[in-house]
Amino acid sequence: MTAGSDNVAWLTQDAYNRLQEELEHLMGPARSEIAKRIEAARAEGDLSENGGYQAAKEEQGKQEARIHQLQQLLQRAKVGETPSDDGVVEPGMIVEIKFAGDDEPEQFLLGSRELAALDDSVELEVYSPQSPLGAAINGQPAGATVTYQAPNGRDVTVEIISAKPYG
């Protein structure tokens, strides 16, 4: 793994396109709208006690932060195809595992938090392919049992129950 690969955001083409569209909206129509609201509130007079002005400025700050976040993400994105439904774990898949000694399986998305954030209906934990668990299971087939070292130094064993493409 190269030094820069830890910061890669793995995205499908569809996810990349949706993030790009959000960025274009925020930088165009949304920026114009917030500027108009700030100007209208500014015209009302005393800014120190103008709740509308303060709220608009706060929203502008959040919007600019999101623009910056999207720009950074899209710059480091590695766009790939939606993974094939072959049961082999790779970024962009919902993975179900069972930790040794636990009866209940856990499900999570292997990939980018931004990918999960695109779909509000799915509430999944997200693990990076570079995380200890992600790196251990990446490329492994359903049914495999793998052991990896957790950040606390303990060896952890997991069984991969299934891996299905996200979305």
Check if the beta carbon of residue 146 is closer than 8 Å to that of residue 136: yes
- CA pair distance 141, 162, nearest whole angstrom: 8
9-37 tens-digit pLDDT? 767 777 788 889 999 999 999 999 999 99
108-156 tens-digit pLDDT? 988 866 655 555 555 778 888 888 999 999 999 999 999 999 999 999 9
**Tokens 């570079």 -> residue:** 130
* Residue boundaries of the structural domains of the chain: 3-79, 83-165
30-74 tens-digit pLDDT? 999 999 998 988 888 777 777 888 889 999 999 999 999 889 888
Query: According to DSSP H, which parts of the chain are helical?
Result: 13-27, 29-42, 51-75, 113-117, 132-137
- CA pair distance 137, 143, nearest whole angstrom: 11
**Architecture of the domain spanning 3-79:** Orthogonal Bundle (1.10)
Q: pTM for the whole thing? A: 0.58
Q: Residue 134 CA to chain centroid, in angstroms? A: 14
pLDDT at 119: 52
**Architecture of the domain spanning 83-165:** Roll (3.10)
